[in-house]
Structure 1
Amino acid sequence: MKFTLGADKRLKSQKKIERLFLSGKSTKAFPLKSVYYFEPNEKPGFKIAVSVPKKLFKKAVHRNLLKRRIREAFRLHQHHLNLSSKLEVMFIYTTNEIHDFTRIEKAMLNLIDVLNSISNDSISEK
């Protein structure tokens, strides 16, 4: 099993990011928040984006550290996602404290479980 998170898995399109915030939904698991959008009638897969607000962390070094930790936590646990359609998700760091990797990883696992349950609910609604 590959544990890579290449450029094809990154959400970069400005239009898709705008749609994500306009019509997407959100969920929280401290210290992370995820804003997600399921694209119906698309083959299963995902694209992610990560954000750490400049308002909370003025130094780019700290923002980059947290973004690396969030991406790594997702990369290691991406195989837990069981999707029925295409998922676009942005993970946002919400606190002004720098948490260690284990805390971020626990939050990521909680968010992945929530996304799985939402994806499974959308299957049962069809």
Structure 2
Amino acid sequence: RRSDAAGLKHLAGHLGLLLAMGAYIGFGGPFWPVLLLPYGIVLMFLFTLSHECTHATPFARPWISDVVGHALSLPLLLPFTWFRYFHLAHHKYTNDPERDPEIAGHPRPTTWRDYLIYLSGWGYWTGN
């Protein structure tokens, strides 16, 4: 069952962890470089919440998902409204090579080389 309180509590914990880790790194605590990778991982897990906000699932009230989704778009550098349209179009046309925006004009990779190029984003930027 969706719950605004549970969703906001989870969000506060995640943001608190980011703030604590960021402060520790920023103030140069002992062995602070060890936290860089975990901090990056925790930061990128904000995308998971952003993704769920596109579906309006993390909170009981959809408007809270909208507010949180837009707020998360700033550190993720991923405009929330654009991502919502892109992602929902992907769900509507999943694996349709002409209309799924994740694969339109670009077939799924079938070799390790193609997969690494796919992960790099090179084909997206070069039009290949």
Q: TM-score range by the shorter chain?
A: under 0.3
Higher helix share: 2
Q: Which has the larger radius of gyration?
A: 2
Normalised TM-score (structure 2): 0.28
Which has the higher relative contact order, 1 or 2, with Cα contacts under 8 A spaced 6 or more apart? 1
